[in-house]
Chains A and B, each alone.
Chain A
């Protein structure tokens, strides 16, 4: 007996549903509440409170940068690799990339705090550490040597120049890809091969440029918080980490949008399951690089490298490190192994939420122990709560901007060769 069914029809209205506006409003409220909390905590915490506010700001910047520029990265990756998943996530990625202006503002803000965050920007921090007994003679010699050696790169002038170059490049790619996307929508289906090639050509080289510029800023912003430490895989770790968090966020958005049209029509179980598998791959890749770095440094046991891990494992950091391992890898890995979970919208959303929390938590673990007052032992104080208040405020503001950008164009791109396929009825999850 023959079975048959009809292909679905794409809804006429492809604009973002009203719920996105509601998300935007809620995110703004959260941003304001947490921003006020951050300021209060800074006053309560005294000098340490303000220091932690700046450090929390660095975490917030890195996290939102990951969403925004990571969105650009994934957009380019999608154009290069093709595939149905692009039809679902391209517009969310585009909206993420268009929040770049906010990241530029955040970056300008970071520039005002360099002297409290980086020894290379304020050698007085070294003296302060020595005076407080936080830096011993061996460490002092190593820091002094590194500060002198790396001065051509690590100084305030090049910080601004390199940052400006990177943001200019990302701005170019963001604006070109977003503009071309709208042009493609207006064009005919017959022009699809032209657009595919055009996007491919721009994105292919864009990924190369992005990898290099992103590596440069990951070194400036995060790695150089400990001026003596280095790791060649650091940029790649950030790159994969950005893909990890962006994919998690985009899936949350897509699944939430699928409650109503037009995503209700185009998000099939097969594609949802595939997205789950894709996320699983990034969970593995992320842990693979992180563990590889750890194993090599641990085995080498060289004083210029191992101290970075010792600062992050000893004392209460052992607990943080363990939680990071669980959140970042063990929980998503274990859960995403399940076929049922990947097919269940609510559960998949929960896992993606855990992944985003894990990313923020990991950044806390990366940043805070770099400062000598926190190295090798986590001190509980009012100030440490800034690591919650500031990143949440900055991320909530970013989410509000994202929602605003998402509403500015249709959430589904037409003229895509995969559209017909995605509208076909699904038979089974392979």
Chain B
């Protein structure tokens, strides 16, 4: 509750707005450079990093085992069968792609909206996007059964005259996701070029000097370099912005263009996009909170970031809740027995527990607590909340896929779905792969953009000069 006699001694609070400051006080160009580049250039890798790396590597090993077994035996080792012909693979694919969206939103849309607070988190959010797309892209490939023929998805001029079905949104996915991955990688790399230049100049070991020198593409920090860098960043942001909408929209079409109750609904495109951003921000929090603690980055990733991310989650979670509500309402308003039964079955049928889990994780818990600023800025609470939302968003996809399929139009063909150990191994394996890649990123690449943080420091601001001073210096 706001009080009118607002006073604070907290140096992290801006007295003009009452908001947390975006950066901790006392930061200088040197301190920012030292803080971020030392994480990369230090010869003493923290033991904790090794610990996580070994665990993540081991879990990635489980993934490799599961995939190898899959290639040897075929998709029969998974639980997919009639009537649930789509199972964990599509659920995981949508979940991972969704997670990636926050990175693009932070790096592109918030850049266009001139949201300076994004600067501290955009780099590792972009990295998260790329690794999430890697995990996501794996599922359609291994799901085709014969992954060595996966290139058939592309409209190549075959001599066999086999062409993909252009009216299938699964083909649109190929274009949407590959474009998304390409733009994300280019944007991510481009953003790091000035920082690579800094790392090159600060590196002590010849290998590091060579590696970062090569990656910096001859960056010298001249005015011309900066001008082209800024222009390219804005252009890429402009290109990436529609991708935030288009990719998950196309993924929502995977379901919505089918004439299946539970899938065929017009709210899917915006609701999928909002859900993607919702889960993506949850994952950014899951990553940012331990990172800032482990590497002592509290002055660069402040309560303001956590608070703002909480607000974004509240907004996008609200759209998701609206989507759930409209789905339920339209199942009645449609006056269709099929739609009505599907929703009844989804909520109260044998798998109604999954619907309850998603309502609790995505709506009941976060959308009641995130209204309170005190909780939004409670780091431990937000970390727990991010895990709950990530779980809830996985269950959302589970509910959409499984509960729409397992009881179809003919009661004689009703069935159920029970994932196998290989389904679980593949899913948890991707969590390992994601963590593995992310740990490599934080160790060898600048996880926070030094150049963009410096632009936010008071010393980077150009103030209009006082008339007296101007009289002697200006014109």
Contact = CB atoms under 8 A, between A and B. Distances in A.
A201 B2 contact: yes
Interface in B299-337: 314-315, 318, 322-323, 325-327, 329-330, 333-336
| A146, A296, A424, A425: most-surrounded residue (chain B CB, <10 A) | A296
B475 A1 contact: yes
Nearest to A292: B269
A234 B270 CA distance: 12
B15 A193 contact: yes
B347 interface: no
A15 B112 CA distance: 33
Contacts of B264: 296, 300, 302
Contacts of A417: 16-17
A204 B314 CA distance: 10
Interface of A is mostly: helix
A297 interface: yes
Contact of A7 (B267, B326, B464): B464
Interface in A188-246: 190-194, 196-198, 201, 204-205, 207-208, 211-212, 215, 219, 228, 230-236
A4 B333 contact: no
B57 to A, nearest CB: 41
A350 to B, nearest CB: 24
Interface string A307-325: 0000000000000000000
A208 B2 contact: no
Most buried by A among B265, B325, B333: B333
B371 interface: yes
A356 B438 CA distance: 48
Given A146-B335, A289-B270, A417-B17, A232 B474 contact: no
B467 interface: yes
Interface residues of A, number: 57
A112 interface: no
Q: Counting chain B CB atoms within 10 Å of each CB, which of A6, A193, A301 scores highest?
A: A193
A193 B18 CA distance: 5
Interface in A118-175: 145-146, 149-150, 153
Given A193-B6, A211-B322, A304 B334 contact: yes
Nearest to B325: A212
A417 B17 CA distance: 7
B242 A2 contact: no
A208 B269 CA distance: 20
Given A192-B17, A236-B270, A295-B253, A304 B336 contact: yes
Interface string A406-430: 0000000000010000001100001
A196 B3 contact: no
B45 interface: no
B242 A284 contact: yes
A293 interface: yes
A231 B266 contact: yes
B171 interface: no
A186 interface: no
B3 A194 contact: yes
Contacts of B249: 288, 292
A232 B464 contact: no
Interface string A1-25: 1111111000000000000000000
Contacts of B267: 232-233, 236
Nearest to B334: A230
Contact of B17 (A196, A228, A300): A196
Residue among A197, A234, A274, A277 with most chain B CB within 10 A: A197
Nearest to A424: B464
B174 interface: no
Contacts of A149: 335
Contacts of B153: none
A194 B3 CA distance: 6
Given A2-B465, A6-B464, A235 B326 contact: yes
Contacts of A5: 464
Given A4-B470, A6-B467, A198 B2 contact: yes
Interface in A233-265: 233-236
B464 A299 contact: no
B372 to A, nearest CB: 10
A428 to B, nearest CB: 12
A297 B322 CA distance: 20
Interface string B248-268: 010001001111000011111
Contacts of B18: 192-194, 196-197
Interface string B153-187: 00000000000000100000000000000000000
A230 B242 contact: no
Contact of A236 (B322, B464, B470): B322
Contacts of A297: 266
Contacts of B470: 2, 4
A233 B266 contact: yes
A12 B268 CA distance: 51
Interface in B421-475: 464-465, 467, 470, 473-475
B312 to A, nearest CB: 10
Contacts of A300: 257-259, 264
B264 to A, nearest CB: 5
A192 B16 contact: yes
Contacts of A192: 16-18
Nearest to B367: A208
Given A150-B333, A233-B270, A194 B6 contact: yes
Contact of B259 (A201, A208, A292, A302): A302
B16 A295 contact: no
Contacts of B138: none
A1 B266 contact: no
Contacts of B314: 204
Interface in B61-120: 112, 114
Interface in B219-258: 242, 245, 249, 253, 256-258
Nearest to A200: B2
Given A197-B18, A300-B259, A417-B17, A292 B327 contact: no
A14 to B, nearest CB: 21
B436 to A, nearest CB: 36
Nearest to A228: B335
Contacts of B15: 193
15 contacts: A4-B464, A7-B464, A192-B16, A193-B2, A193-B6, A193-B16, A194-B3, A211-B318, A232-B323, A233-B266, A289-B269, A296-B257, A296-B265, A299-B253, A300-B259
Interface of A: 1-7, 80, 145-146, 149-150, 153, 190-194, 196-198, 201, 204-205, 207-208, 211-212, 215, 219, 228, 230-236, 274, 277, 284, 288-289, 292-293, 295-297, 299-302, 304, 417, 424-425, 430
Q: Please list the 9 inter-chain residue pairs (A to B) with the smallest Cβ-Cβ separation, ordered nearest first.
A: A193-B18, A197-B2, A232-B267, A299-B257, A149-B335, A292-B269, A233-B266, A4-B465, A232-B326
Interface of B: 2-4, 6, 15-19, 112, 114, 167, 242, 245, 249, 253, 256-259, 264-270, 314-315, 318, 322-323, 325-327, 329-330, 333-336, 371, 464-465, 467, 470, 473-475
Given A4-B465, A193-B2, A292-B249, 5 more contacts: A2-B470, A230-B330, A232-B326, A296-B265, A302-B259
